[in-house]
């Protein structure tokens, strides 16, 4: 029974983690785009974005990441045989990448707050698609487990990247056409 409670809250915390990451990098987009505004609008907006990014990162996204790890590793402790299986190893490799991405966001918050990070809104829009790929692949691996071939996971990654790119390009065209 404890296992099902762990899995239920694992899903709650990973959804919160993913939502926090997507919203955080969306704030980076607006923060970067406000660099082109005139004062005092530029200073007011960028100051406000720093407050929102810092609170979102410290109060929601980081606790959700820690609790996703805690519930995930607790399930592994209850099912140690999973460690022998390729799907969990591949999933853990993806989640470590996602954790590095999460920690890199803290550096971006500081860089934007100190006007040191000069990357564009476009750059952060593309960056924001990274967790999408991890989410799709992690869910395929954990639901199918050993029933999915890694070649299929590879195809799923390629299709996800292609669809995200098409969506991104389509949105860029729509933005250019919008008044």
Q: Smallest distance, Å, CB 60 to ligand HEM?
A: 15
Closer CB to ligand HEM, residue 38 or residue 81?
Answer: 81
CB 75 within 8 A of CB 8: no
| Closest CB to ligand HEM among residues 90, 134 | 134
CB of 82 to ligand HEM, least distance (A): 5
Residues that bind ligand HEM (CB under 6 A): 7, 10-11, 14, 18, 68-69, 72-73, 75-76, 82, 92, 95, 98, 134-135, 138-139, 142-143
Q: How far is the CB of 104 from ligand HEM (least distance, A)?
A: 16
Residue 13 vs 49, nearer CB to ligand HEM: 13
Least spacing, CB of residue 26 vs ligand HEM, in Å: 18
- CA 24 – CA 53 distance, rounded (Å): 6
Q: How far apart are CA 163 and CA 136, in angstroms?
A: 12
Residue 126 half-sphere exposure toward CB, CA atoms < 13 A: 10
Buried b (16+ CB within 10 A) or exposed e, 16-47: bbbebbeebbebbbebbbbbeeeeeeeeebbe
C-beta closer to ligand HEM: residue 31 or 91: 91
Least distance from C-beta 72 to ligand HEM, angstroms?
2
Distance (Å, whole) CA 164 – CA 179 = 24
Give me the residue whose beta carbon is nearest to ligand HEM: 72
77 vs 172, beta carbon nearer ligand HEM: 77
Residues 8 and 116: their CA atoms lie apart, in Å, by 41
């Amino acid at each position: 029974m404890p296992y099902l409670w762990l899995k239920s809250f694992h899903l709650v915390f990973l959804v919160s983690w993913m939502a926090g990451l997507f919203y955080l990098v969306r704030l980076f987009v607006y923060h970067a785009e406000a660099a082109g505004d005139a004062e005092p609008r530029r200073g007011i907006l960028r100051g406000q974005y720093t407050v929102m990014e810092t609170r979102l990162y410290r109060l929601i996204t980081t606790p959700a990441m820690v609790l996703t790890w805690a519930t995930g590793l607790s399930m592994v402790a209850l099912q140690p045989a999973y460690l022998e299986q390729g799907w969990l190893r591949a999933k853990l490799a993806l989640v470590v990448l996602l954790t590095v991405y999460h920690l890199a966001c803290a550096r971006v918050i500081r860089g934007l707050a100190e006007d040191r990070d000069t990357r564009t809104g476009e750059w952060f829009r593309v960056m924001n698609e990274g967790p999408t790929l991890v989410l799709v692949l992690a869910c395929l691996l954990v639901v199918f487990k050993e029933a999915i071939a890694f070649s299929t996971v590879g195809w799923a990654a390629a299709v996800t990247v292609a669809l995200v790119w098409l969506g991104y390009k389509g949105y860029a065209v729509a933005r250019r056409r919008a008044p």
